[in-house]
Structure formats: structure tokens, C-alpha cells
Structure 1
Amino acid sequence: MTIALTEQTLGSLACLIPGATRVFRQYKLDFCCGGNTSLRDAASQRALDAQAIAEQLAALGGHSDTQPDWRNESAGTLIEHILERFHERHREQFPELIRLANRVEQVHGNKADCPVGLAEHLWNMQQELESHMLKEEQILFPMLQRGMKLPQSQGPIAVMRFEHDQHGAALERMAELTNDITPPENACNTWRALYRGLEELRDDLMQHIHLENNILFANASAE
């Protein structure tokens, strides 16, 4: 079984095995924007043992998960989940994270490990993600809810996938600014609260992109 798992894509494994996304985050494997990459190739790129990761995934195979199998849900049901769980949540996350980042930079900007530039980066992420979500809400999602697939949805889906890649690059930059979201030992409570929020944002955005790229858009492109 584990040999077969190494040949499957990260996106398909994230859909197939409950808890797989937690394993991928542990090893920093990109299952959302890089969802079409096989586990073997993704592990090789990071000098990881694909077989060992596959064995971890195999051990999860029989475990239950609190989330439904979104592959078996209608486009409308999945879209409602994305809107409520991710679009609304992202709009709540950014203002507070930007406030905290500004506070940390103002107080600790003279320290070598201070994430200088993070507040501006988060503001840019917020603007880009808001524009992206509005295009989904006003154009693509209504098309998919009406049952439109290819070729009508091909253009909007291609744009959304491209912008997802940009969001992935923004997450990488966020990690660079924050030592992979690792606070220094002497970090104050505000600094630690900021990084806890950043970790949540990263997890949420990666799961958000995964559900769209690997399930919603893939299903719309299947016929």
C-alpha cells in the first residue's frame, strides 16, 4: 500500500486520507498549490523519505475525521462551507493580525529577529485575498452553483488557480519574515499571539486552497 501512496499526488492523498494534511504540514509539503505533485517527487524536492511519510499516511487510513468527505458533496454544499468557514474567517483574521504585527514592529523593531515588514506584507495579502474572494463570490461560485462546468468555467478557474499560486508565494514570504512562524524565546505575549494567529491563518488558507484546487475546481473540470 505504501508504495502506491508515494506515486499519488499530494492533492489526491489530502482528499483520500483523513488527517493527511496535518502530516503534510508537519513536513512542509505543499498539498494545495502543489497538489498535482506526487508524494515521491515532493519528498525528493525537500530531501525527505517518501516511504516513511507514506507509512505515516497509511497508519491514518482507518481513522475517522470530523470533516465530511467533500469529494462526495455537491458543489453548492462545498461552496457554502468555503464561504462560511474560510471567506468569513479570513476577513476576521487579517485586521487583528495587522494590528498585532504593527504593535510588535513598533515596540521591538530594533531587535534582529523582529519581523520588520510583516504588517505591510499582511496588508498586501489582505487586499489580494479580498479581491480574489470577491471574484469567486460574484462570478465563479454562482456559475458552479448553477451547474456550469467546462468550457464556461475554464477561464475563471484558470484565473483563480493562478491567484492561488500567488497566495502560496505570499505564505512563503510570511514564513521567511517570521523564521517559519517561530517566535524567539524572549518574545512578549503580543508577539506570541501574533504568531499563533499567523499559524492559524496559514493552516486555514492552505486548507481553503486545497478544497478549491483539488476538489471544487477539479470536479468542475472533470466533464
Structure 2
Amino acid sequence: MLLHAGVDPDAAAGHTLGALCLDRGLVLEDLLRELAAAEAPLTSPWHGASVGALVDHVLVAYHAPWPALLEAARAAHASHRDVPTGGADAGRWGEVDQLLADLGADMASHMAKEERVLFPWLRVRAATAAAPIRAMLLEHGDTLRLLARLHGRLARRVAEADALDVLTRALCAHVHVENTLLFPRALDSGAR
């Protein structure tokens, strides 16, 4: 949601949500309501779930559909390559191609680490996984910054921005579920 409000994660660091809203001309209470409404369906069904159930949910809901979502964003970008653009937009094609390639490579590596190392670890000794969880949290931040850069490059290109919006919502939901449910539950209680 913050990306859609034009908030760059790098620029947001060290600022309160209230200050960011003021800077963007947003009403804090409205944004908080929107954030709560968006979060509820992501987390409410999973509040009492075990670490293993959360891992299974992340794999099915976020890891499995990722390749198709990325390909849809790439296809939307490629399908508009022949659309006439002017000046600054013309130079963005190569950069968007590279950002999508970087996002694909980063997420492939990230999800492989989760699937091969972290998730099996969480299933058997979750409370001892602090170091790999910290590494995944850092990678989540890198991914969100990369998404912000993509949004900045595609802000005026509606068809591509729509495909990127679907990808962004899924990826942000993925990060949110891991950061706010799975990882804290694993560290606090160990595998159930």
C-alpha cells in the first residue's frame, strides 16, 4: 500500500507514518484503516496456526504462483515495447527489463534458500533459526526496494503497472505473512 501511495522504502526509513502521510498529502487515519483492512484477510486465518502450517501456506499461496506472476509482468512489459513513447520513457525499457530480471533472480535465490534450508529447519527446531531469519528479513527489504524502483519506472504506463500491481500485492503479502506471522512464531515458540 505504501508503494502505491508513492512512498519509497529507502526514503521512508527513519520517518514516522504520520510524517510520510503529511509529506504525501495523505490522511493517516485513512491509511491506517486501509492497512488494517488489507492485513486482515492475510493474517486472521493464520493467527493460531502452527509453524508447519504457516510454512505450508507460504509455499502454496506465495511460492507456487510466483513464476507465473513474474512472467505476466514480463509479458505485459514486452507487449508494450512497440508502443510509441517519448524522451525519458524510451530509456526506461532496458532498465525495466533489468529490474524484472533482477527481481526474478533475487526471488528465485531467496525462495530456494527458504525451501531448502529455512523451512525444513523451522519445521524441526524453529526457535534456533534466528540467524537465517535475519538474513531473510534483509532480503525482504531488498526485494521491496527493488519493487519501489520498478513502480517508479512504470508509474505512467498503465498496462504494465497493472501487471506489476498484481505481482506487487502478492509479493508484499508473502513478505508480510513471513515477517509478521511465520518468523515471529518460529522464534517465540519453536515448531508445534
TM-score over 0.5 (shorter chain)? yes
* SS in structure 1 at match of 2:188: coil
Q: Which has the higher contact order (CA 8 A, sep 6+)?
A: 2
The equivalent residue for 1:83 is 59
Do the aligned partners of 1:171 and 1:202 also contact (CA within 8 Å) in 2? yes
Unaligned runs of at least 5 residues, structure 2: none
Q: Against the structure 1 CA distance between its residues 51 and 97, is the aligned structure 2 distance closer, same or farther, given a 3 Å change threshold?
A: closer
The equivalent residue for 2:168 is 202
Match of 2:46 among 59, 70, 85: 70
Q: Does 1:217 align with 2:192?
A: no
Task: Give 1:41's aligned amino acid.
Answer: T
Task: Give 1:120's aligned amino acid.
Answer: Q
Counting only pairs closer than 5 Å after superposition, residues 174-193 of structure 1 correspond to structure 2 as 174-179=150-155, 182-183=156-157, 192=159
Counting only pairs closer than 5 Å after superposition, residues 1-223 of structure 1 correspond to structure 2 as 27=5, 41-47=16-22, 48-54=26-32, 56=33, 65=41, 68-105=44-81, 107-108=82-83, 110-112=85-87, 113=89, 115-116=92-93, 117-149=95-127, 152-179=128-155, 182-183=156-157, 192=159, 194-222=160-188
Unaligned runs of at least 5 residues, structure 1: 1-21, 185-191
The CA deviation at 1:148 is 2.3
Q: Against the structure 1 CA distance between its residues 119 and 70, is the aligned structure 2 distance closer, same or farther, given a 3 Å change threshold?
A: same
Q: Against the structure 1 CA distance between its residues 153 and 67, is the aligned structure 2 distance closer, same or farther, given a 3 Å change threshold?
A: closer
Do the aligned partners of 1:86 and 1:205 also contact (CA within 8 Å) in 2? yes
How many pairs are equivalent?
Answer: 179
Task: Give 1:87's aligned amino acid.
Answer: H
Q: Against the structure 1 CA distance between its residues 95 and 53, is the aligned structure 2 distance closer, same or farther, given a 3 Å change threshold?
A: closer
Do the aligned partners of 1:118 and 1:174 also contact (CA within 8 Å) in 2? yes
Deviation per CA, 1:90-124: give whole Å up to 9, x if none. 1112233223323423x136434454221221011
Q: Against the structure 1 CA distance between its residues 124 and 59, is the aligned structure 2 distance closer, same or farther, given a 3 Å change threshold?
A: closer
Q: Against the structure 1 CA distance between its residues 66 and 78, is the aligned structure 2 distance closer, same or farther, given a 3 Å change threshold?
A: closer
The CA deviation at 1:52 is 4.5
* SS in structure 2 at match of 1:146: helix
CA RMSD of aligned residues (A): 3.2
TM-score normalized with structure 1 length: 0.68
Do the aligned partners of 1:78 and 1:216 also contact (CA within 8 Å) in 2? yes
Q: Against the structure 1 CA distance between its residues 146 and 197, is the aligned structure 2 distance closer, same or farther, given a 3 Å change threshold?
A: same
Deviation per CA, 1:107-143: give whole Å up to 9, x if none. 1364344542212210110001000000000000011
Do the aligned partners of 1:29 and 1:42 also contact (CA within 8 Å) in 2? no
Q: Against the structure 1 CA distance between its residues 219 and 91, is the aligned structure 2 distance closer, same or farther, given a 3 Å change threshold?
A: same
Moved over 3 A (4+): 24-30, 51-54, 56-60, 64-68, 112-115
Deviation per CA, 1:185-218: give whole Å up to 9, x if none. xxxxxxx2x3322110000011100000111111
Do the aligned partners of 2:126 and 2:187 also contact (CA within 8 Å) in 1? no
